[in-house]
Amino acid sequence: MKWPAWFRLLRNPRPLPPASPTACPACGDEMVVVEKFTMMGDDIRTYRCKRCKTEHDIDFGTALWKLMSDANERDSGE
Ligand SMILES: [Zn+2]
């Protein structure tokens, strides 16, 4: 059985995984979700960093596509 790309990503994590998508871009702390509803069909959520006291909108849809694109590029080179 051939596993889809996303499953291989989960089974073979990167040696140096990128920062968590919910980590604060400023200080790296894990942020807490503020709103859980999606807007306009996009998977965008608002997270709040306790340390910086700032809120960041995380676009999970875009992040996922970038992740899969990167994986495909690496696969073709191996
Ligand atoms: Zn922060």
In a domain, 36, yes or no: yes
The strand pairing partners of 48, in sequence order, are 32, 55
pLDDT at residue number 50? 94
Angle of CA points 52, 44, 5, to nearest 5°:
110
Which tens digits make up the pLDDT trace of 25-68?
Answer: 889 999 998 866 555 556 778 899 999 999 988 877 655 556 66
In a domain, 42, yes or no: yes
Give 30 Cα–ligand 1 centroid separation in angstroms: 8
Range of the domain at 33: 22-77
Give 78 Cα–ligand 1 centroid separation in angstroms: 36
pLDDT at residue number 60? 72
pLDDT confidence bin for 18, thresholds 50/70/90: low
The total of other beta-carbon atoms located within 10 Å of residue 30's CB is 13
In a domain, 13, yes or no: no
Give 19 Cα–ligand 1 centroid separation in angstroms: 13
pLDDT confidence bin for 70, thresholds 50/70/90: confident
- Count structural domains, the chain: 1
Please state, in angstroms and rounded to a whole number, the distance separating the CA atoms of residues 42 and 64: 12
Give 62 Cα–ligand 1 centroid separation in angstroms: 21
Give 33 Cα–ligand 1 centroid separation in angstroms: 13
In a domain, 2, yes or no: no
